[in-house]
Amino acid sequence: MDVVRCMQAFVATVQAGSMSAASAVLGQSPAMVGQQIAALEERLGTRLLNRTTRRQSLTDFGASYVEQCRDILDRIALAEEAAELQQTRLKGRLRITAPTTFGAEALMPALGGYRLSAPDVELDIALSDRNVDLVEEGFDIAFRIGVMQDSALIARPLAPYRMAVCAAPDYLARRGMPMHPDELAGHDTIAFTPSARSPWTFAREDDERAITPPRMITVNSGQAVRAAARAGLGIVMQPELLVKRDLEAGCLVRLFPDWRLGERPMWLLYQRDRRMTPRLRSFIAFSLSAFGSSPGMTDAV
């Protein structure tokens, strides 16, 4: 039994809507496609498809398993492409969009590694904190932070966006050091406009809290929030990668170090039906290596 071929038959059947339609895509007979899916079900010990004379539908397990098969087949394709790339010069243009802070503080410093492997690929990068429409605006790939909305895009999970609560030493000297998240109610805070209404979440052992402190200043730039914090205007919750150097230099002081802060999921997005050029595959592989966390792929939800 060739498990990969059986997975390909299963995924093609789901995408095409029937075994006969999948057989045309795969260049196999409908009977062969059916045999491969049956062999896969036998191996797993459960049904993947509910079949009648007129239609077929995924079982609950089949709906979950087809996404895992897509992930496996995509990774096999990426591995094969990586081998081919060793013999092929990558050329052309990639349009990439990313959140402003992540793009400036993480993506741009990491691009040197990609440029070494793909010196002839032109990178057109747009940094924006709005949810760019890849299809309408002609982007090949996007980095995105937060919960995914309904989408036909492929969403590959990256390492979560970790946050830090901090303030300048002179602010803390004037207003005092808060020792518990509940004490934020008596302090000035500075918020990034897109997330200004979201509570700050804290967890320690069995104690979980969602606190919405008073927002004395809101501003639509992460760099401006950082500058306001450095100037002693209030307490901020900002991405660790944005304030890391300030914390190390003592320009900002981390608060509540024994509390875990809410993490925001981060994703790499691209179109499911887009022709996967070598340059796009190479950038996906680079991004997953540079910023990835656990393996896996899901549809954006």
pLDDT value at residue 250: 95
- For 154-164, the pLDDT digits (tens) are 899 998 888 89
- For 29-82, the pLDDT digits (tens) are 989 999 999 999 999 999 999 877 667 888 999 999 999 999 898 888 877 776
Residue ending a domain, among 48, 67, 84, is 84
Instruction: Kindly state the average pLDDT of the residues 91-120.
Output: 90
Residues 16 and 152 in one domain: no
CATH number of the domain encompassing residue 15 = 1.10.10.10
Range of the domain at 244: 163-261
pLDDT bucket at 24, cuts 50 / 70 / 90: confident
Residue ending a domain, among 33, 65, 84, is 84
pTM given for the model: 0.58
Residues 156 and 220 in one domain: no
Residues 39 and 127 in one domain: no
- Alpha-carbon distance of 282 to 117, in angstroms, equals 9
pLDDT bucket at 298, cuts 50 / 70 / 90: very low
pLDDT value at residue 167: 97
Residues 12 and 79 in one domain: yes
The contacts found for 205-213 with CB under 8 angstroms, 24 or more apart, are: 209/181, 209/182, 211/181, 211/182, 211/184, 211/185, 213/184, 213/185, 213/187, 213/189
**E strands present in 150-259:** 153-161, 163-167, 189-192, 200-204, 207-211, 215-219, 235-239, 253-254
pLDDT bucket at 180, cuts 50 / 70 / 90: very high
Residues 155 and 268 in one domain: yes
Residues 95 and 127 in one domain: yes
Q: Which two tokens stand for residue 51?
A: 């079949």
- Alpha-carbon distance of 143 to 101, in angstroms, equals 11
Residue ending a domain, among 26, 59, 84, is 84
Residues 103 and 139 in one domain: yes
Q: Is residue 233 over pLDDT 50? A: yes
Q: Is residue 249 over pLDDT 50? A: yes
Instruction: Kindly state the average pLDDT of the residues 232-238.
Output: 94
pLDDT value at residue 190: 94
Q: What is the rounded average pLDDT for all residues in the chain?
A: 86
The alpha carbon of 209 is separated from its chain's Cα centroid by a whole number of angstroms, namely 25
- Alpha-carbon distance of 247 to 38, in angstroms, equals 58
Q: Is residue 142 over pLDDT 90? A: yes
Q: Is residue 28 over pLDDT 50? A: yes
- Alpha-carbon distance of 219 to 162, in angstroms, equals 20
Number of domains in the chain: 3
CATH number of the domain encompassing residue 147 = 3.40.190.10
At 189, is the secondary structure helix, strand, or coil?
Answer: strand
Q: Is residue 296 over pLDDT 60? A: no
**Percent of the chain residues past pLDDT 70, beyond the cut:** 91
Strand 253-254 relative to strand 215-219: parallel, antiparallel, unpaired? unpaired
- Alpha-carbon distance of 177 to 172, in angstroms, equals 5
